[in-house]
Chain A
């Protein structure tokens, strides 16, 4: 259908219409209980219209339940869900102007690709000629026009995924919900599809909400990341905020590549003073942190690429106030980055250090050597447990 100028103009108009209609999603004190088990507890969340939001967390953290409540597949125990300014509690899934891409795509195996994409339009009573137009157009967009007559099982995983996307987008929803859409794909395809997802979201301008347990996926796709754990939201922020300043020990650990040292607050932070924390066997660390009272359990968190690795007897730059001595356990070459595992022997604390491979090579260090690791207070967060 796309090809003639008029059709393209119509196509652009249709997309503009969708973009204009895109609406945000708001959750207010949303709770979901299954009998005595609370899957999601008192969640408050605002997702801006036309943005790409990822719900990130380990399995069982309540992210899929949250998505299913927005979709209408799951009833809300208490609280309110708004799509745009419309409260959608109890509204059937079909009337919420959302569409869903399922983890296993949920394509109808007995229907052709074309009929799969058509189904939603047919059920909504769209006239036949318009259905034909919209399905053809959508299959063009996802590049599957030549597979229209195939059955889903005759397609590759990536192609099936695109059919699922086409089926969801063809109904022109205001919010697209994606439940781990990339987890069934292999690594290289996942990276490629990630790019396509982001492109489609930009192109259509609608709100995308995606559930994922992979932080790299969340980082590369999102405008906003919601980190969840045990039915709670731990942190909401942009990818860089989540990466640079994790708000809790869990987020720091889940996002990965952080070194965590558990200890007790020695001195809370105030306007002039950094916080201090004492970690058994490692000493006192200084870092950014909250004004907690002395003795409270806390964690010192520092990213593995913020560490400075120097010989034991070398001199330290003035700002590097925090330091530990550790022995190199293993060196892992991953290409651009080299990952080094170290251990503080007296406490058996494991530490991860990451450096650009070229920088690492100039250090000329080997496994078994004792080194000094140091870091600046600015790069260190004191997180309360």
Chain B
């Protein structure tokens, strides 16, 4: 969006210089793109400017408070958790859905009932985030030990003789009973000897479930786009299947991997619904977007809400810039 502002300014400059050089005929192209530009200005550029402005005012947008709202990110524990979780989501969901999608794309290429299996894996793509969350609430459902388990995960766990686990509540799944350690200097305590961030991981799983099919379908198309002659040629040259994957397949589909990863990154940065429906952001599952809604509409702190929005915007900018650069370079990427 910041790029959009820059482009607007450049566009205006070009309009003026064109009119200056070629008279009214230079205006004609702008007559055609004008409506689109007006809508962009109204619904994209102005809100961005407005949001940036609001982020420097206090909660009720009456007084200028400087960087106070941004200080929130470094002073407030809740903001720290949201930032940490966003990072977890960004790396975890993107990595696993692209990785898993790639593995499925390559392996399913050699499976007999490929279309059926791919259809099944792709299907969650069609479910809304809220709908998916409702489904997964059943999967993660928890009843105290001794009662019949409604959730399939806990039903499996108890059937195997374990204790039911509060998947969306627990921040840690302890596997060892060791003493917590304190990192010297910063006073940071690590107390989870097992799987940390259990509930956040549980929420991320939903997103992975939703996104893997998308990654798989696009990557599968890219894998199938590799001429079979190339693979045959590598085979005559004595390459083994893993070598073919690492040296031929992977480099050739790298542009597609970049596109898919970018798309997932943008989706993940916007994640809100899953957290909101599953936990409401409690038990350390908050992400930036859910915190933003909370600040904005629950606490009515427009300043802080806007500051979070600006941060999210800034986080997307590098992704957008790299994508645009790739498009400009002709999507070659080789």
Contact = CB atoms under 8 A, between A and B. Distances in A.
B315 interface: no
A110 B232 contact: no
Interface stretch (A20-28, A99-107, A187-195, A220-228): A99-107
B233 A106 contact: yes
Contacts of A123: 234, 237-239, 243
A7 to B, nearest CB: 25
Interface string A87-110: 000001110001110111010111
A72 B243 CA distance: 19
Contact of B248 (A92, A98, A104, A108): A108
A93 B235 contact: yes
A120 interface: yes
A120 B237 CA distance: 4
B251 interface: yes
B230 interface: yes
Given A109-B334, A110-B334, A124 B238 contact: yes
Interface string B241-266: 00100011001100000000000000
B236 interface: yes
A330 B232 CA distance: 48
- Size band of the B side of the interface? 10 to 19
Contacts of B180: none
A99 to B, nearest CB: 6
Contact of B252 (A73, A98, A109, A120): A109
B273 to A, nearest CB: 39
Q: Which of A72, A73, A104, A171 has the most CB of B within 10 A?
A: A73
Contact of B232 (A102, A108, A119): A102
B232 A93 contact: yes
Contacts of A94: 235-239
Nearest to B240: A123
B179 interface: no
Given A94-B238, A120-B238, A151-B334, A110 B233 contact: no
Given A123-B243, A151-B334, A108 B230 contact: yes
A326 to B, nearest CB: 48
Contacts of A102: 229, 232-233
A149 to B, nearest CB: 14
A25 to B, nearest CB: 15
Contacts of B251: 110
A35 to B, nearest CB: 14
A349 to B, nearest CB: 44
A71 interface: yes
A100 B229 CA distance: 10
B229 A103 contact: yes
A93 B241 CA distance: 13
A150 B251 CA distance: 17
Contacts of A73: 232, 235-236
A99 B334 contact: no
Given A102-B229, A110-B251, A119 B236 contact: no
A104 B234 CA distance: 14
A106 B229 contact: yes
A153 to B, nearest CB: 9
Contacts of B235: 73, 92-94
Contacts of B243: 123
B227 interface: yes
Interface string A120-135: 1001100000000000
Contacts of B237: 94, 119-120, 123-124, 167, 171
B241 to A, nearest CB: 11
B245 to A, nearest CB: 13
Nearest to A116: B233
Nearest to A120: B237
B231 to A, nearest CB: 9
Contacts of B230: 106, 108
B159 to A, nearest CB: 46
Interface in A143-164: 151
B234 A119 contact: yes
A104 B227 CA distance: 10
Interface in B205-230: 227, 229-230
30 contacts: A71-B236, A73-B232, A73-B236, A92-B235, A93-B232, A93-B235, A94-B235, A94-B236, A98-B236, A99-B236, A100-B236, A102-B229, A102-B233, A103-B229, A104-B227, A106-B229, A106-B230, A106-B232, A108-B248, A110-B251, A119-B237, A119-B247, A120-B236, A123-B234, A123-B237, A123-B238, A123-B239, A123-B243, A124-B237, A171-B237
Given A94-B236, A123-B239, 9 more contacts: A93-B232, A94-B237, A94-B238, A100-B236, A109-B252, A109-B334, A110-B252, A120-B238, A167-B237
